[in-house]
Structure 1
Amino acid sequence: MPVTALVSAKSSGVTAASLALTLASKRPSLLAECDPAGGTIRAGFLQGEVGAGLGLYHLAAAERTGPDALAQAFANHLWTMDEAGHRKLLPGLTDPAQAGALGRTWPALSEVLHVLADDAGYDVFIDAGRLALESGRLHTTLTPAPLLHQADLVLLTVRGTEQSLTLARHLIDPLRTELAERGSGPDALGLLLIEDGPYRAHQVTEALKTPVLAALPFDASTAGYFTNGGNPPRGYGRSSLLRHARTATEHLEAAASRRKVQQQYPARPGNPQLAGVLQRLSERGGARG
């Protein structure tokens, strides 16, 4: 299954979209909240149910000990979002100042995420937040660059508005160049369209010279629930956002599969020290309140 990273230029609904895709997937799924500016799911969707003792920041110390320690910490710091244990969350940072400690952790975390996707069949989504550039490159602290470099797909999330397209337009070429030079190739880049505004998918594709790989409706009530938490809106399980998100995950899997066939990627080498991730997840299923 693919590892898909979601990013935005500004306020395009990355977190709500990431949650929708994770919760709607037909397969086991995991959302890694890796926005260096700080996570919002803990205080929003989860309504403070998860404390600061669980989450991304704690992986930094474990990574310095070694791959096995990182694998164990990763499994221990997941939060299960459903009763069956099929939807998991790695909660994000509670303080943006913590981002500087993760520079060494991103590549190792990426490897763990690919183990889950490749060996355990998880749909893995990364909320990478707002893109930050420095001299035309991804900022090494304000963006989790290694996660984008190694992702199967990188989705620039945009709304169908003139403002959103204008902001995104300035990021397309630097991001495409970055993926060409340091990532898995420029064709990893696609768009996730939030259908808010007058522009439709074919118009957005033409305007940004980048394909729309999936689209989600602007569902204010469900997106508000994902952003702010509280009681789910009436008919939440049958909401247009979740129904379209389920279809979107299939489109993304198909796009990632086409890339692998076209690029003829060699199989990723196995890492016995990370194989324990799968066993620990199956044994415990992550934390749950």
Structure 2
Amino acid sequence: MSLIALTSPGDAPGVTTSGFALALTWPERVLLAECSPGGGRLLRGYFQCHTPPDHGLWNLGLAAVHGPDIALRALWEQTLPLDEQRERLLLPGLNDPFVAVQLTAATWEVLAQTFTELPFTVLADVGPIVPELPFPVLRSSDLVLVVMRPTLAQVAAARSRLARLRQALGPSVPVGLCLIGDRPYTAGEVRAQLGDFAIVLKLPFDQRAAQVLSEGPDSERARRRIEAGLLLRQAGAVGRAAHRFATAQRRALHGVPGSVVEDSRP
């Protein structure tokens, strides 16, 4: 269906938490794939390692060595459901980030092909912008979303990294911006420093909800509270906007549309 990669300038702006929130509220079936070379976080964070730790990206990468057909068949054995209907799936990331160097560019190419051939959206959390990024996944994406806070530190970190990212991807892959919070700088001020983006989306800065999504709920009440809270409501609107953009991008055979700014508030 479509492939959307999520990355960040670093300094823990919440890209994994944002990707998780998007997956939980995505408007159709979705796979959240933890593809960061730095390793996965959701099993040891939100799920507190209660789910089986032997599923995930590493085993899928081993299967991908034998080609895309084998990888596609192996994918279903490596995913975990995020809901009872299995409409929201998780591909857990690496348990040991030191094995990331063994995932070669050829392996990432097969994984990218596997993701793009699925009949639903894949959200690939590739972690911060670093030289070890799985660039084949990003180059195959219909949209690359840079998730960041609108702060001086984040803008300063993003300036050179974003330039490198755009250079590596070329003009055929649209780069969007997802801002967490609206202070101290506005989206317009961030764009003035970092250049234009294909789409601009906004998530609220909700530290309590983000902590629950990052570390797991300590009670059923906490889980219900975030399900009804602002972050997930806003994530639903952001997901719908990103889904529309990525779908149109794929239908246009990866032609680059004009800039779109969406105020994704409910």
Shorter-normalised TM range? 0.7 to 0.9
Please say if residues 25 and 123 of structure 1, whose CA atoms lie closer than 8 Å, have aligned partners that are also in contact: no
Please say if residues 161 and 196 of structure 1, whose CA atoms lie closer than 8 Å, have aligned partners that are also in contact: no
Residue in 2 aligned with 1:38? Answer: 39
Secondary structure of the equivalent of 2:65? helix
Residue in 1 aligned with 2:23? Answer: 22
Residue in 2 aligned with 1:60? Answer: 61
- What RMSD in Å do the two structures reach over aligned CA positions? 1.8
Structure 2 residue 159 is the aligned partner of structure 1 residue 210: no
Structure 2 residue 140 is the aligned partner of structure 1 residue 150: yes
Instruction: Report deviation, 1:67.
Output: 2.6
Structure 2 residue 226 is the aligned partner of structure 1 residue 224: no
Q: Distance in 2 between matches of 1:47 and 1:227?
A: 10
Q: Distance in 2 between matches of 1:257 and 1:206?
A: 27
Structure 2 residue 123 is the aligned partner of structure 1 residue 125: yes
Aligned residue runs from structure 1 range 67-146, under 5 A: 67-103=68-104, 104-116=106-118, 120=119, 122-132=120-130, 139=131, 142-146=132-136
> In terms of mean alpha carbon deviation, does 28-37 or 206-215 score higher?
206-215
Instruction: Report deviation, 1:240.
Output: 0.8
Residue in 1 aligned with 2:263? Answer: none
Residue in 2 aligned with 1:191? Answer: 177
Q: When you count helix as a share of all residues, which structure comes out higher? A: 1
Structure 1 unmatched runs, 5+: 133-138, 266-289
Please say if residues 213 and 255 of structure 1, whose CA atoms lie closer than 8 Å, have aligned partners that are also in contact: no
Structure 2 residue 243 is the aligned partner of structure 1 residue 248: no
Structure 2 unmatched runs, 5+: 256-266
Q: Which amino acid aligns with 2:15?
A: V
Q: Distance in 1 between matches of 2:206 and 2:254?
A: 38
Q: Distance in 2 between matches of 1:217 and 1:63?
A: 37
Structure 2 residue 9 is the aligned partner of structure 1 residue 6: no
Amino-acid identity (%): 33
Check 1:19–1:50 CA distance in 2 against 1; reply closer, same or farther (3 A cut): same
Q: Which amino acid aligns with 1:29?
A: V
Q: Which amino acid aligns with 2:237?
A: T
Q: Which amino acid aligns with 1:33?
A: E
Instruction: Report deviation, 1:69.
Output: 2.0
Please say if residues 60 and 101 of structure 1, whose CA atoms lie closer than 8 Å, have aligned partners that are also in contact: no
Instruction: Report deviation, 1:50.
Output: 2.6
Secondary structure of the equivalent of 1:235? helix
Number of residue pairs aligned between Structure 1 and Structure 2: 249
